[in-house]
Chains A and B, each alone.
Chain A
Amino acid sequence: MTYNNDKNINDISVFFKNILSSENNRPAVGLFCTYAPEELIFAAGFVPSRVMGRKKLARSESYFPINFCPYIKSSWESLLSADGSLKAAVFTNSCDGMRRLYDTANIYLKNTPSYLLDVPRLQGESSINFFKGNLNDMKIFMGDLAGRKITDGEIEKTAAVINKKRKTLKKFSRIFKELPHLILISTYFKVMELSMTSDPLIFTDELEKYIEFIEKTSRDHKIIPGKDNKKIPSIMIIGNFITENKLWDMLSALNLKLAADDLCTSTRYFEKQIEINSGQDILYSMAQRYLTKPPCMRMADLGLKLKEIENNITENNIEGVIFISLKFCDTVLYSFPLLKQKLNQLKIPVLYLEMEYNNFSEGQLKTRIQAFLEML
């Protein structure tokens, strides 16, 4: 829907010109997980860029089995076809599949240095301290890559930059949820994707301006945030690294409001700030943030995740949950039996979907989602 004659509010190419311009292409370090600390990469002078794995599978199939995470296989295809275009690739031991992707990159990728950051699964004080040590190890790797020593002062500065990006994303997320008729679901996730793949300084600057534009449009057209006369169901989406544009386009065209989410491409990515104060070790603060941010299902305490989802459902008056997992994602798929029980207790209907990556069967999914929404 166009609310302004000059600019289509959902055309992000208009609002993120600098980010989308090739002039701003600085050397990038590839990432694969929300637990990979962008702060350390940016402090070394590189752009932290999530590998999106947009390539269709060709060579990758011969490296991994059929029943293997499709995001990992697509990412490997991207890495293989552009070996040397990234300054380095930083992996985490987020899951079995990711460990094997790191091994594969380490052995077969000749022109891209790779590094694996060990992320604990527990969240107590000793885990935070242990993770702090691992971050220090990664700091050394990034320093070697940059050819200089990275200081804590530099990390504090970049932590502030990434914090600002997270804070702005959170604000954008809130506005998106309050103005569902103004910003499309597809637009929201396009912005999220840009946030994960772009220079954080330029991105945040453009996002701030975009938010200003949205707020102005909303004022000009007397759209009161949160006040919506149309009765549309509030949905929560729970899943993993879902980036399928066709899915977001499809959902944008359906009668629903995305009122909450638990995805690697949204809240799990931007929620929770790093506490920066001169008295505290910055690596400790980072370790604390990453281990206590909204967790991935890989973490030990699945109960904590369920509690968080329950709170989200209550706070956002969620009427239905769409659970979407990439196929063969063990940690997320194992969360479903308990999630289903919890949702049954809360009397919240849930639609269970498993999908491939870059291979979207629109017709079937649309029918299932429409039927689900009708039921609500």
Chain B
Amino acid sequence: MGIKDRLKTGIQKNLNQKYIKRLLGIIAKKPILYTYGSTFSSVSDKYLNIFTIESLRKAYSDNYRPVGYGSLFLPYEMIHALGITPFLPEVMAGFTAGLGLAAQTIKQASLNWYSQDLCTFHRSASGAQELEVFPKPDFILTTNLACDAAQKSFYIYSKKYDIEKNFYLIDVPYRYSQESLFYLTAQIKNIYMDISSKSGRKPDISKLSEAIELSNEFREWAIKVNRLRETLTDYPPYFNALNYILPFHGLAGTREAVTLYKYMYIELKKYLAKQLNKNHDKKNLPKKILWLHLKPYYRSEVFDILNKENCIVAFEEINYVYWPRLDPSKPFESLAIKMLSHFLGGKIDNRVNMILKLAGEYNIDGVILFAHWGCRQSNGGARIIKDSLNKLGIPTLVLDGDCVDRNNSSQGQVKTRMQGFLEILNSKT
């Protein structure tokens, strides 16, 4: 049994905070961590895993307080500048799927009256939180950007730990206007000042500006990676960019995010050079898929089927750099601009326009929208997205499934639907 399987089995048998803390204390020690890291096929994957484990170790440790729960789409630049160790329950829900824990956590959520109609990312995270698997938070930050679920489940966490006064919702307006910018900037600034004061620190704007500089640096590398990907006709077997949630979220504004994308760029550039030296049969080049929403985080055949049918995920909407360069001299306003620029905010047109742009830039042959159970904001727009792509003659598959709960997703049905879709795609010349 390899190191990864041993870790998995260990956590499955001992799903409690104490065990996880002890485990992280052991594997986060540098020699072990780097040995573990070396089991990954690429440098970027290695660092993604190392940074994730380090970040978790800090969140579970008593030496890196305060700890702040954060939802996706928050301006993490601010959280790092405040010296808060971030902990992302939604990302952890993905881990519960990968580690085979979701059945336990989702069951616990049901026992605590979370309806099974709700998103399994949030149900699994809530179940884990009810099982007290997560570290105790000092602050809880969330936003209404993209979806309703986080703001509600995160409020419940604040109640559990009796820290409602340290619960912050960043209320992102629907429209991007001067008034919206003013309203949002003031909120971000107030939160920054309030948390600084509660942490007994003077608000340090220069730290925030530094985080924004790093965020800009990451942005440049991400754009470079994305440009490079436009020319790639296939990918190294280890590469799955749907795993890279953290650099765009929990690691935003850190050196780690920059490092990751820098390595990714170097690796993909080398791969591209090899690819250019090969004589490709242009007729047999893989079909290019644009992937919308997230993927199943448990073992699923989805990507094997793509591979088998000579298709690649050429790009994923989650990796699209949607925001402009930020101005470090106006940090609060910059973060507000970043949030207001998100394609999941406001009208569906913002998302559709981004998808159509990506379809053109990456010469997309087909689009798969993974319709994760309970994700109203994404699935509610599926018909519009499909119709918009059909107008351009791009086939679209709305693939019903569940990113977290394998029992809520019929593998047979997924397989049949994917094969049918890929047949259509491959029949097109």
The interface size of chain A toward B, counting residues with CB under 8 Å, comes to 48
Contact of A359 with B by CB under 8 A: no
Instruction: Report Cα–Cα, A53/B76, bound state, in Å.
Output: 41
Instruction: Report Cα–Cα, A130/B374, bound state, in Å.
Output: 31
Whether the pair B347, A103 counts as a contact (CB closer than 8 A) is yes
Within 8 Å CB of B156, what residues of A?
302, 334, 337-338
Residues of A331-373 contacting chain B, CB below 8 A = 331, 333-338, 340-341, 352, 354
Q: Which of A9-17, A59-67, A162-170, A266-274 contacts B (4 or more CB under 8 A)?
A: A59-67
Q: A97-B376, A118-B174 are in contact. Are A354 and B115 (CB under 8 A)?
A: yes
Whether the pair A300, B155 counts as a contact (CB closer than 8 A) is yes
Task: Identify which of B113, B126, B153 gathers the most chain A CB atoms within 10 Å of its CB.
Answer: B113
Contact of A107 with B by CB under 8 A: yes
Within 8 Å CB of A338, what residues of B?
155-156, 159
Within 8 Å CB of A328, what residues of B?
117, 374, 376
Residue of B nearest to A330 (CB): B148
A residues sitting closer than 8 Å to B (CB atoms) are 62-65, 67-69, 93, 95-97, 99-104, 106-107, 116, 118, 120-122, 126-127, 130, 133, 297-298, 300, 302-303, 325, 327-328, 330-331, 333-338, 340-341, 352, 354
In angstroms, how far is the closest chain B Cβ from the Cβ of A139?
A: 14
Q: A62-B383, A121-B171 are in contact. Are A68 and B376 (CB under 8 A)?
A: yes
Instruction: Report Cα–Cα, A177/B263, bound state, in Å.
Output: 69
B residues sitting closer than 8 Å to A (CB atoms) are 112-115, 117-119, 126, 144, 147-149, 151-153, 155-156, 159, 164, 169, 171, 173-175, 179-180, 183, 186-187, 347-349, 371, 373-374, 376-377, 379-384, 400
Give the secondary structure class of A's interface: helix
CB < 8 Å: which of B144, B179, B383 contacts A133? B179
Whether the pair A303, B159 counts as a contact (CB closer than 8 A) is yes
Whether the pair A130, B384 counts as a contact (CB closer than 8 A) is no
A-B contact pairs, 25 of them (CB 8 A): A65-B379, A97-B380, A100-B381, A106-B347, A107-B384, A118-B173, A121-B144, A121-B169, A126-B183, A126-B187, A130-B179, A133-B179, A298-B148, A300-B155, A302-B152, A327-B117, A330-B148, A334-B118, A334-B152, A334-B153, A337-B126, A337-B156, A338-B156, A352-B113, A354-B115
Instruction: Report Cα–Cα, A68/B371, bound state, in Å.
Output: 12
Closest 6 CB pairs of A and B: A100-B380, A334-B152, A118-B174, A103-B348, A96-B376, A96-B377
Instruction: Report Cα–Cα, A130/B153, bound state, in Å.
Output: 26
Q: How many interface contacts (CB-CB < 8 Å) are there between A and B?
A: 129
In addition to A102-B347, A103-B348, A334-B149, 15 A-B residue pairs with Cβ atoms within 8 Å of each other are: A65-B379, A67-B373, A93-B174, A96-B377, A101-B380, A103-B349, A104-B383, A121-B151, A122-B187, A325-B115, A328-B117, A334-B114, A334-B156, A338-B159, A354-B115
Instruction: Report Cα–Cα, A352/B117, bound state, in Å.
Output: 14
Within 8 Å CB of B171, what residues of A?
120-122, 127, 300
Whether the pair B374, A67 counts as a contact (CB closer than 8 A) is yes
CB < 8 Å: which of B126, B153, B384 contacts A103? B384
In angstroms, how far is the closest chain A Cβ from the Cβ of B150?
A: 10
In angstroms, how far is the closest chain B Cβ from the Cβ of A285?
A: 19
Residue of A nearest to B164 (CB): A303
Within 8 Å CB of B183, what residues of A?
120, 126-127, 130
Instruction: Report Cα–Cα, A95/B174, bound state, in Å.
Output: 11
Within 8 Å CB of B382, what residues of A?
65
